[in-house]
């Protein structure tokens, strides 16, 4: 076994990376956040589908309204 593979195995790097990639693929979902006041789509983000199975609502700054408004998840 090459030395670097031995080290990686000893540190568990390979396993951790694989787990991380799987979590990103399975859990994180791309969403768009739209201002509820002016309906502009201001933010692209990802969310944890397990933590937020329903549509997300969050207070964020809207550059069109020039204030913080509620932003809703759209598709
Ligand atoms: Zn707005």
**CA 70–ligand 1 middle distance (angstroms):** 8
pLDDT for the residue numbered 50: 85
Structure-token match 């991380």, residue found: 20
**CA 68–ligand 1 middle distance (angstroms):** 8
d(CA 45, CA 49): 12
d(CA 71, CA 30): 15
* Predicted structure pTM score: 0.63
pLDDT higher at 7 or 57: 57
**CA 60–ligand 1 middle distance (angstroms):** 9
Residue span of the structural domain in which 19 resides = 3-74
The tally of domains found in the chain comes to 1
pLDDT for the residue numbered 59: 97
d(CA 46, CA 71): 14
Give the tens place of pLDDT for each residue, 16-67: 666 666 655 567 889 999 999 999 999 999 998 888 889 999 999 999 999 9
Q: Can you give the CATH number for the domain in which 25 is found?
A: 2.20.28.120
pLDDT higher at 71 or 13: 71
């Amino acid at each position: 076994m090459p030395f670097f593979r031995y080290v990686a195995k000893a540190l568990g790097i390979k396993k951790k990376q694989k787990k991380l990639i799987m979590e990103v693929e399975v859990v994180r979902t791309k969403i768009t956040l739209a201002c509820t006041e002016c309906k502009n789509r201001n933010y692209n983000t990802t969310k944890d589908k397990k933590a937020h199975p329903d549509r997300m609502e969050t207070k964020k700054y809207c550059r069109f309204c020039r204030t913080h408004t509620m932003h809703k998840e759209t598709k």
